[in-house]
Amino acid sequence: MGRHREFDENEVLDKAVEVFWRCGYSGAPIQEICDAMGLKPGSVYAAFGNKHGLFLAVIRRYLDSMNRPGLELLESNPCGLDGIRAYFDFVVDGIINGNRRWGCLGTNAFVELKEVDEDVARLMSDHLARLETAFRDALMRDAWENPESQAKCLLCIAQGLNVFAKTSPSRDALQSVIDAAISSLASSRLAAE
Where is pLDDT greater, at 49 or 143?
49
What would the mean pLDDT of 44-71 be, rounded to a whole number?
A: 94
In a domain, 3, yes or no: no
CB 178 within 8 A of CB 88: yes
Most confident of 1-15, 119-133, 155-169, 175-189: 119-133
Count Cα neighbours of 138 within 13 Å in the Cβ-side half-sphere. 29
pLDDT for 190 equals 52
In a domain, 104, yes or no: yes
In a domain, 1, yes or no: no
pLDDT for 78 equals 95
Residue 3 has pLDDT above 70, yes or no: no
**CA dist., res. 16 & res. 38, Å (int):** 10
DSSP for 114-135?
A: TTT-HHHHHHHHHHHHHHHHHH
Provide the residue range defining the domain that includes 13. 9-192
- The total domain count for the chain is 1
pLDDT for 143 equals 86
In a domain, 4, yes or no: no
Q: Residue 17: name the closest of 51, 58, 75 by CA.
A: 58
Residue 97 has pLDDT above 90, yes or no: no
Residue 126: which CATH number? 1.10.357.10
In a domain, 136, yes or no: yes
Q: pLDDT band at residue 167, thresholds of 50, 70 and 90? A: confident
In a domain, 30, yes or no: yes
- pTM of this prediction exceeds 0.85: yes
Q: pLDDT band at residue 50, thresholds of 50, 70 and 90? A: very high
Percent of the chain exceeding pLDDT 70 equals: 94
Side chain identity, residue 190? L
In a domain, 153, yes or no: yes
In a domain, 2, yes or no: no
What residues are paired with 103 via a beta bridge? 101
